[in-house]
Copies of this chain bind each other. A is one copy, B any other.
Amino acid sequence: MSGGASLRMRRLGIDTYQHPVVYMRSDCHVCKSEGFEAQSRIELRHGATSVIATLNVVHFDLLGEDEIGLSEAAFRALGGTDGDRVLLMHPAPLMSFSSVRAKIYGRPLSGDAAGAIITDVCAGRYSDIELAAFITACSGGRLDAAETVALTRAMIGAGKRLHWDAPMVVDKHCVGGLPGNRTTLLVVPIVAACGLTIPKTSSRAITSPAGSADAMETLAPVTLDLPHIRRVVEQENGCIVWGGAVALSPADDLLIRVERPLGLDSDGMLVASVLSKKIAAGSTHVVIDIPVGRTAKVRSSEAAKALEGRLVSVGAAMGIAVTVVMSDGAQPVGRGIGPALEAYDVLAVLQNERGAADDLRQRALMLAAAVLEMGGKAAPGAGLAMARETLGSGAAWRKFQAICAAQGGMREPPRAAHTHVLESLHKGRVVAIDNRQLAQVAKLAGAPKAAAAGVVFHAPLGMAVEVGQPLLTLHAESAGELAYALAFAESQEHLVTVQA
């Protein structure tokens, strides 16, 4: 590739989120000699690090003649300080994208192709539209079992892989789709208090208003480096950290950044995402919760069975034992939907508060029981009693506080500055709840980026309500987001259906 051209870097303080952008003057000698134009992809090198960024051409005198401006994302990726020389070149053609094109045209994704694609994704060589094409090509049931294994293997290979000084490392995971389902924050302390090793790395939300990492982050730091995670687990048997921060299956978080706005999350990608994280984290035994419901992510027991089959078979091919638990996905779990609101639900259960959400508690106990039995701590059928005892005695709450302290210190989740109560217009019973629309309201209110934002849900299925009785409370950090979420909620007739 051509090389040699260089300019002095200047951090411009422009936040383009995770998308690296560079700014060059239209009369810049490098622009001319290299033929760079607006939207050109340019490879920048500074010492041993490199990044591929998108060019914006600047027609005014923001920059000096020998300068290149860096967005915050480009600056983070490249390092250095203002005035350092940066080498500029055309990036090598993206050879692995021909495998994406082949997949779009119906040819199977081979192990080599998956490896090359994921390597390029992790190196930042895929533009957003190329990522979107890859994700779309793998969505809608278009990855078979062999392709899923190939993708899982490629995703593990792209990052670090942990090894623990324990013969058995357990884990749990929920495939999501059910607002408020924050059982991870309960299962980990219960299981860890019982002596099993459970180093939990969680994702941020994909299409939901909050992931476990988002909710946990309102209670303690989750962005830990590997030595820190190791210390937490050695000391407390468990942790709840963000997987993206520790380069375990790093492709996953890069894919999620594009999957989230597209609202796509298919079986094959889902299995590869889940199992690559678990295997990279060193797990040997994992319990996977699949909530099933008309408006959950998995809508039918047939779809759940298919997903279970794929999880178990790909797990077996990869040498990890998988147990699937199917749960009721008819309505939200707990009361809060959104990072901080879900954290408050968890705290109430851990502290055995009288008014704590019983559905959240029962789900957590059931999953903890499955993990305890799978991990050999409880005999078959005896897991539930052990989990209930560990929670009821306060041992789980003490373990949770110890984990938070070890992760950097426990803190109080934020409270929203703006709230609005939505009341029932009818007298009757709650007969249906649309989880997807409810999640959409929470997202429009700002979740998960705004940690305090979301929805508190007051009316479970079957509850009798009067006219004027609160159904939902919207929480937002800004008045604009509150108004936006409210306008949407009021325009949806089937958000919560009350029938006389």
Residues of A within 8 A of B (CB): 1-2, 5, 12-17, 19, 21, 23, 26, 32-39, 56-60, 62, 71-72, 90, 93, 97, 101, 104-106, 127-133, 135-137, 139-141, 258, 261-264, 440, 444, 446, 449-450, 476-481, 483-484, 487-488
Contact = CB atoms under 8 A, between A and B. Distances in A.
A444 to B, nearest CB: 8
Contacts of A139: 104-105
A35 B127 CA distance: 26
Contacts of A13: 58-60
A353 B95 CA distance: 41
B16 A39 contact: yes
B476 A35 contact: yes
A264 B97 CA distance: 11
Contact of A128 (B15, B33, B128, B488): B128
A37 to B, nearest CB: 6
Contacts of A34: 478, 480-481
Given A14-B59, A15-B58, A129-B262, 17 more contacts: A2-B487, A13-B59, A15-B26, A16-B39, A17-B39, A21-B56, A35-B481, A93-B440, A93-B444, A97-B263, A106-B141, A128-B129, A129-B131, A129-B132, A130-B262, A133-B135, A136-B136
Given A101-B263, A132-B136, A258-B129, A38 B17 contact: yes
A106 to B, nearest CB: 5
Contacts of A133: 132-133, 135-136, 262, 264
A477 B479 CA distance: 52
A434 to B, nearest CB: 13
Contact of A104 (B93, B105, B140, B478): B140
A71 to B, nearest CB: 8
A450 B36 CA distance: 10
Contact of A480 (B72, B90, B263): B90
Give the top 6 A-B pairs by smallest Cβ distance, nearest first: A34-B480, A13-B59, A132-B132, A35-B481, A35-B478, A136-B136
A101 B93 CA distance: 30
Nearest to A453: B35
Nearest to A58: B14
Nearest to A139: B104
10 contacts: A1-B487, A2-B483, A15-B58, A16-B38, A21-B56, A35-B478, A56-B71, A90-B484, A104-B140, A106-B141
